Amino acid sequence: MSGQVQSTAGATAPTRLPRLSIVILSRHRPQALALCLAALERQDHPDFELVLVADPAGLDLRPDLNIKRISFDRANVSAARNLGIAQAAGQVIAFIDDDALAPPNWARRLCAGFADPRVIAATGFTRGPDGLSWQAQGERIAPSGETFAIAVADRVGLGPRDGCPVSTIGTNCAFRRDALLAIGGFDPAFRYFLDESDVNMRMAARFPDALTAIIPDAEVIHGIAAGPQRAAQGVPRSLTDIGRSAVIFAQRYRASLPPLELEQRQRLCGICWGGG
């Protein structure tokens, strides 16, 4: 189904923070989306718009909010994000999932990282469904698709190291719009899993001297709600797209496949939370 904009958000007064577009992806989770939108309308960033890419049920929510609404009902997060990018008016574009809750200061804190002109991307810390445990903090992504932790106590801007850029989790990240356009946005070959990691790798290749800001206090709570691609507790309904994305990623970046079997076996058993 092609994207269709149903309404637009008006501009607000200019500020020192860059104008921000917050892109929300939603598919078949209207209850979670309603909570996400309630949190986003309370953001204290002085100049932002909401861009919702969703199925028909999601688009019908909150008609009182001034939102750019884009119709999309296919299982491809990269294609959905690209539709949001195309309609975003902000200098910076942030992404959040429909099952995430952002405190009122999230957007402002995430955007503050772009005060440094060398920063082209930013990511915050993400808590799990209990609102206490960490799902993701500072990490780098390797060409194999594996991540490894970075010890971060305060806001920091980091460039790639040994071919490993900073990883930006898809439900708590932002990019300069011009940089996203320069690399062609997200690759629809990554329908689900490693979609933002591929962007991290391509941005590092295109802008090797640029930085990604890690901002610990730009927090969201990721509910990991059940949906078309996963059941409760992040258990995937199918490993097809996960395996396909892992193979494409490893081939593209000339790396061996990571030991995915144990990790995915744990996900199927509901032992650990899934991403996306």
Structural domains in the chain, sorted by start: 20-268 (3.90.550.10)
Poorest-confidence range of 10-14, 36-40, 147-151, 255-259?
Answer: 10-14
Query: How would residue 11 be classed by pLDDT, with cut points 50, 70 and 90?
Result: very low
Q: Does residue 14 have a pLDDT over 90? A: no
Q: Does residue 33 have a pLDDT over 70? A: yes
- The pTM score is 0.85
Tell me phi and psi for residue 37, to 5 degrees.
Answer: -65, -35
pLDDT of residue 271: 44
In this structure, what token pair is assigned to residue 179?
């940089």
Query: What is the average per-residue pLDDT within 231-254?
Result: 75
Burial of 85 (0-12, 13-18, 19+ CB in 10 A): buried
* Closest CA relative to residue 215, chosen from 120, 137, 162, 116: 137
Query: What is the average per-residue pLDDT within 214-230?
Result: 80
Tell me phi and psi for residue 21, to 5 degrees.
Answer: -110, 125
Query: CA 107, CA 19: separation in Å to the nearest integer?
Result: 11
User: 71-115, pLDDT tens digit by residue?
Assistant: 999 999 999 999 999 999 999 999 999 999 999 999 999 999 999
Q: What is the 3-state secondary structure (H, E, C) of the chain?
A: CCCCECCCCCCCCCCCCCCEEEEEEECCCHHHHHHHHHHHCCCCCCCEEEEEEECHHHHCCCCCCCEEEEECCCCCHHHHHHHHHHHCCCCEEEEEECCEECCCCHHHHHHHHHHCCCEEEEEEEEECCCCCCEEECCEEECCCCCEEECCCCCCEEECCECCECECCCCCCEEEEHHHHHHCCCCCCCCCCCCHHHHHHHHHHHHCCCCEEEEEEEEEEEECCCCCCCECHHHCECCCHHHHHHHHHHHHHCCCCCCCHHHHHHHHHCCCCCCCC
Q: Are 108 and 43 in contact (CB under 8 A)?
A: yes
CB atoms within 10 A of CB 5: 13
Query: What is the average per-residue pLDDT within 121-130?
Result: 96
Query: How would residue 246 be classed by pLDDT, with cut points 50, 70 and 90?
Result: confident
pLDDT of residue 223: 87
Q: Does residue 261 have a pLDDT over 70? A: no
In this structure, what token pair is assigned to residue 219?
């927090």
Angle between helix axes 240-252 and 195-206 (nearest 10 degrees) is 10
